[in-house]
Amino acid sequence: MDNWKKAGEIASEARKFGAKLVKPGASIFEVTEKIEAKIKELDGNLAFPTQLSSNNVAAHYNALIGDTSKFGKNDLIKLDLGVHLEGCIADCAITVDLSGKNSKLVDASRNALKAAIEVIKPGITLSEVGSVISNEITSAGFVPIRNLSGHGLGEYNIHDSPSIPNYDNGDDTKLIKDQKIAIEPFASTGSGIVVEGKGSEVFGLQNIKNVRNMQARNIMKFVTENFKTLPFAKRHLLEKFNKFQIAVGVNNLVREGVLMEYHVLQEKDPSVLVSQAENTVIVGEGQTTE
């Protein structure tokens, strides 16, 4: 079977599995580890670390090394995961409402995703897709997050061109047949603009260069062999290195510009809630994740 579609099947199954684990009092670290183990059990590889972002955090919350946080009974959780097979990527997300009080917000992003997928075809412009997403979210009484977008998917490239806007941004670039794209509407009760928060302990390889520090050299080699250009979590290094080696090596690689750390993306106001829905689509063929 085509690796793009097989990755989509694995991602879909892992998302369903993971959503059932998101419960009040459950350990975020343990749920993350179980989801990632499930992906590997299904013969998939991680396209990026599994993210479990809560409430006003829209994206990039990753379980940290030693993370003791747990899901709260009123949390709104975005489960975002990615699977790859030989670099062919499926990216998907779902929102889990632990309070049971935010169904309209959850539906806003989910319905926007559904509406966008229905109009996706070769020749449609990015602004037209963005308009469909925005109209669906605003008609529900919420705001689309304008500085987050969907994206193209390339082999070993989680954020390829084009950017798929969540509003009409005037971009008349047309989608073409067989493009692989991730559509991911975010609906917010706030301003619709996210800012960078704290570091996520998720890193991406920016370049390969000679570094003097031994720990840094060893970690760079491990990352290159195991993740290539795909994002990875600091906790993923624990299978090979101890905490001291990781701390010294990663800090050195960031300082040298070899690694870039991703930051949590959040609405500035902590009282704001954000929902997310995401599926991967092959233009002209439909969804690979459902």
pLDDT tens digits, one per residue of 125-163: 999 999 999 999 999 999 999 999 999 999 999 999 999
Mean pLDDT of 41-51: 98
Residue 45 has pLDDT above 80, yes or no: yes
Considering 75, 80, 107, 136, which one is annotated as catalytic? 80
Mean pLDDT of 217-244: 96
Q: Please give the pLDDT value at position 116.
A: 98
Note the CATH number of domain 3-196+271-287.
Answer: 3.90.230.10
Mean pLDDT of 260-282: 98
**Nearest Cα to 119, choosing from 106, 107, 134, 141?**
134
Angle between helices 126-139 and 103-119 (to 10 degrees): 150
Residue 209 has pLDDT above 60, yes or no: yes
Cα four-point dihedral sign 36, 40, 43, 47: positive
Mean pLDDT of 236-240: 96
Model confidence at 288, pLDDT cuts 50, 70, 90, reads confident
**Nearest Cα to 81, choosing from 123, 41, 105, 50?**
50
Considering 151, 201, 236, 267, which one is annotated as catalytic? 151
Q: What does the alpha-carbon distance between residue 30 and residue 66 come to, in Å, rounded to a whole number?
A: 11
Mean pLDDT of the chain: 97
Q: Percentage of the chain with pLDDT > 70? A: 100
* Cα 38 to chain centroid, rounded: 17
Considering 91, 107, 128, 136, which one is annotated as catalytic? 91
Q: What does the alpha-carbon distance between residue 222 and residue 254 come to, in Å, rounded to a whole number?
A: 15
Could you confirm whether 278 is annotated as catalytic? yes
Cβ neighbours for 137, distance < 8 A, ≥ 6 positions apart: 108, 109, 112, 143, 144, 166, 185, 187
Q: Please give the pLDDT value at position 290.
A: 81
Residue 91 has pLDDT above 70, yes or no: yes
Considering 36, 107, 136, 278, which one is annotated as catalytic? 278
Fold of 200-264: Arc Repressor Mutant, subunit A (1.10.10)
Considering 107, 128, 184, 267, which one is annotated as catalytic? 184
Could you confirm whether 184 is annotated as catalytic? yes
Q: Please give the pLDDT value at position 256.
A: 95
Residue 289 has pLDDT above 90, yes or no: no
* Phi, psi dihedrals of residue 266, rounded to the nearest 5°: -145, 150
Q: Please give the pLDDT value at position 278.
A: 98
Could you confirm whether 263 is annotated as catalytic? no
Q: What is the CB-side half-sphere exposure of residue 205 using CA atoms within 13 A?
A: 20
**Amino acid letter at 252?**
N
Residue 1 has pLDDT above 60, yes or no: no
Token readout for 175 is 């989608």
What is the residue extent of each domain of the chain? 3-196+271-287, 200-264
Could you confirm whether 60 is annotated as catalytic? no
Question: Per residue in 246-264, is it b (16+ CB within 10 Å) or e — as a string?
Answer: bebbbebbbebebbeebeb
Q: CB–CB of 79/268 below 8 Å?
A: no
Residue 112 has pLDDT above 70, yes or no: yes
